[in-house]
Chains A and B, each alone.
Chain A
Amino acid sequence: GQNIDQPTEMTATEGAIVQINCTYQTSGFNGLFWYQQHAGEAPTFLSYNVLDGLEEKGRFSSFLSRSKGYSYLLLKELQMKDSASYLCAGTSGTYKYIFGTGTRLKVLA
């Protein structure tokens, strides 16, 4: 079957580093997306991993291990505006994407 798991909520302090994990149990996933969603707004694209390893984009990095069914999003130098939900989504290259429930991140001053 296809299932994506991520923690429901995390809290971190401004300026710190936080890692949001995502695990999936599925066959056929060949790519993992991360999206950021502020409350009541549209998800916006952060990263896409199709190969194993780390992809770095400014303060945000994403890691994928396909053999372990595991991905994480790393946020450095946290800012208050990073308070949002972070959605992990898998794709098998078809038109169907499987989304996790999202991790609500609270950044405290």
Chain B
Amino acid sequence: DGGITQSPKYLFRKEGQNVTLSCEQNLNHDAMYWYRQDPGQGLRLIYYSQIVNDFQKGDIAEGYSVSREKKESFPLTVTSAQKNPTAFYLCASSIGSGGEQFFGPGTRLTVL
């Protein structure tokens, strides 16, 4: 079955540590996205990638970094520069621009 996987489901880290969230898709989609979701707020775009080896900043990219070395994979690193990293992180993919997005199950990151 095709889909998007994110791991782990729950992640705990100490303040000041970098952490990498995994996102893998086998839908053969070109575009991939990272969103952050906080209580009472809509999904906010962190980074997106239209194609392998290319990615663009979203609305809240500060303190985050990404890579897109393979079509299937789009890992997100939350760096120590991110001031308030505790949140629910969602990865998504789409065939192209403006189409339906498919979401992974999310990773809940808690920084202690």
Residue A43 at the chain B interface, CB threshold 8 Å: yes
Contact partner, A48, options B48, B100, B105, B108, Cβ 8 Å = B100
Determine if B100 and A33 form an interchain contact, defined as CB atoms under 8 angstroms apart.
yes
Q: How far is the CA of A83 from the CA of B15 in the complex (A)?
A: 35
Which residue of A is nearest B32, CB measured? A95
Which residue of A is nearest B103, CB measured? A42
Residue B45 at the chain A interface, CB threshold 8 Å: yes
Residue A21 at the chain B interface, CB threshold 8 Å: no
Contact with B along A20-40 (1 / 0, CB 8 A): 000000000011010100001
Determine if B106 and A40 form an interchain contact, defined as CB atoms under 8 angstroms apart.
yes
Q: How far is the CA of A102 from the CA of B106 in the complex (A)?
A: 17
Residue B43 at the chain A interface, CB threshold 8 Å: yes
Report chain A residues within 8 Å CB of B50. Answer: 95
Report chain B residues within 8 Å CB of A91. Answer: 98
B positions within 8 Å CB-CB of A: 31, 33, 35, 40-45, 48, 50, 56, 58, 88, 90, 94, 97-98, 100-106, 108
Which 8 residue pairs across A and B have the least CB separation, nearest first?
A: A99-B42, A93-B98, A42-B103, A99-B43, A101-B42, A91-B98, A95-B97, A43-B103
Sample 28 A-B pairs with CB under 8 A, ordered by A number: A33-B101, A35-B103, A40-B88, A40-B106, A40-B108, A42-B104, A42-B105, A42-B106, A43-B43, A44-B103, A45-B100, A45-B102, A91-B98, A92-B98, A93-B98, A94-B97, A95-B31, A95-B33, A95-B48, A95-B50, A95-B94, A96-B48, A97-B43, A97-B101, A98-B42, A99-B42, A99-B43, A100-B42
